[in-house]
Amino acid sequence: MIALYDTLTKRKAPLRPLVPGQVGIYLCGPTVYNSAHVGHARPEMTIDVLRRWLEASGLKATVVRNFTDVEDKIIKRAAELGEDPAALAARYAVEYVADMDSLDIKRPSIEPRVSETIPGIIDYIERLIAAGKAYASGGDVYFAVDSFPPYGQLSGQNVADLIAGARVDANEDKLSP
The pTM for the full model equals: 0.83
How many CB atoms within 10 Å of residue 173? Answer: 13
Q: What is the pLDDT of residues 92-134, one digit of tens each?
A: 999 999 999 999 999 999 999 999 999 999 999 999 999 999 9
Q: What is the pLDDT of residues 133-148, one digit of tens each?
A: 999 999 999 999 889 8
Q: What is the pLDDT of residues 152-172, one digit of tens each?
A: 888 887 777 766 555 556 667
Q: Give CA 148 to chain center in angstroms.
A: 19
